[in-house]
Amino acid sequence: MRSYDVVIIGAAIVGSSTAYYLRKNGFKGSIALIEKDPSYKQSCTALSWGGIRRQFSTPENIRLSEFGLKLIRNLKQEFGPDADVGFKEQGYLVLASEASVPVLEENAKLQISMGADTVLLGPTDLEKRFPYMSFEGIAAASFGQSGEGWFDPYQFMNLIRKAAIAKDVDFITAEVTVSMSWIARRQLTRSAKAHSPSTSTAFISAPKAATSSGALRPPTRKNPRSRIGRWISPGLRKSSGRSPPLAFPPSRP
């Protein structure tokens, strides 16, 4: 049985970033980054719009966007002279009805106080700035003049994943699933199995695990991927003092 200090299930932009920043922030232990489909054709990252904005209603979301924006603006320093994600800094326009104007203004005030380049626009300003749009029924809007736009999420993911691998993170192509019997009985030994008719099953253990494999849905036998979140959830982790074993088929040539 192979052992890692940390196992990350799902290696798109969230999983790869988790591995990358563990290393960047000084973590010296072993890390396994496991991905079912290295083409990522059905991953949230590949299917996303790749938008970034600072127009949020909570400080936490604004800070998260500031972190991402700083990384995008410093890609070449972080990942090398050829790094590029095609960032189009063209702003987000948030529209409000008459009833929603107080909320829009409150949110804009918070954003501006945290350094966002948000400007409030009335109907006349909107028509002048965006003459090709109809603003019937719109009482006001907020516009992110800079620091907002969209980028190529697939390319961004590739940059971070390659950087993580370069920092001695093991990338493993495999599907990880969790034993339904363990969920039902809360056995002391956690088990996971990889279903593949043409490859053998290999086991690893790790005291720490993170899942970035997608949203958790109710577990079923036809939906093994949904079991992963429940396997590492804090409530179930307390029932075991052992390192949870995982299983995966070896990568194909």
Q: pTM score, two decimals?
A: 0.77
Q: Which residue has the higher pLDDT, 253 or 107?
A: 107
Residue labelled with tokens 């603003």 = 135
What pLDDT is stored for residue 81 in this prediction?
Answer: 96
How far are the Cα atoms of 33, 101, 139, 191 from residue 179, in angstroms, in the given order? Answer: 20, 51, 54, 6
- pLDDT mean over 47-68: 96
- pLDDT mean over 94-115: 97
Pick the CATH number of 2-48+154-248 from 3.30.450, 2.160.20, 3.50.50, 3.40.50: 3.50.50
228 pLDDT band, cuts 50/70/90, is low
What pLDDT is stored for residue 175 in this prediction?
Answer: 80
Cβ atoms of 53 and 142 closer than 8 Å: no
Cβ atoms of 72 and 85 closer than 8 Å: yes
What pLDDT is stored for residue 145 in this prediction?
Answer: 96
- 188-198 tens-digit pLDDT: 333 444 433 34
What pLDDT is stored for residue 181 in this prediction?
Answer: 43
Q: Where in the chain is the domain with CATH 3.50.50?
A: 2-48+154-248
125-134, 164-173, 190-199: which range is least confident on average? 190-199
Q: Which residues pair with 32 in a beta bridge?
A: 7, 170
Q: In this structure, what token pair is assigned to residue 56?
A: 């949020």
What pLDDT is stored for residue 75 in this prediction?
Answer: 97
Q: At a CB cut-off of 8 Å and minimum separation 6, what does 25 contact?
A: none
Instruction: Quote the CA–CA distance of 117 and 90 in Å, as a whole number.
Output: 12
Q: Which residues pair with 3 in a beta bridge?
A: 205
182 pLDDT band, cuts 50/70/90, is very low
What pLDDT is stored for residue 206 in this prediction?
Answer: 76
- pLDDT mean over 61-67: 97
Instruction: Quote the CA–CA distance of 172 and 176 in Å, as a whole number.
Output: 10
Q: 101-113 vs 59-73: helix axis angle to the nearest 10?
A: 50
Q: In this structure, what token pair is assigned to residue 216?
A: 């958790």
Instruction: Quote the CA–CA distance of 233 and 139 in Å, as a whole number.
Output: 45
Instruction: Quote the CA–CA distance of 15 and 33 in Å, as a whole number.
Output: 7
Instruction: Quote the CA–CA distance of 44 and 46 in Å, as a whole number.
Output: 6
Q: At a CB cut-off of 8 Å and minimum separation 6, what does 44 contact?
A: 12, 214
Q: What is the mean pLDDT of the chain?
A: 81
How would you class 91 by CB atoms within 10 Å of its CB: exposed for 0-12, middle for 13-18, buried for 19 or more? middle
Q: What percent of the chain has pLDDT over 70?
A: 73
- pLDDT mean over 72-93: 96
Count how many residues are written for the chain: 253
Q: Which residues pair with 173 in a beta bridge?
A: 35
Q: Which residues pair with 177 in a beta bridge?
A: 193
Rounded CA Rg of the chain: 22
Instruction: Quote the CA–CA distance of 229 and 25 in Å, as a whole number.
Output: 25
1 pLDDT band, cuts 50/70/90, is low
Q: Which residue has the higher pLDDT, 123 or 238?
A: 123
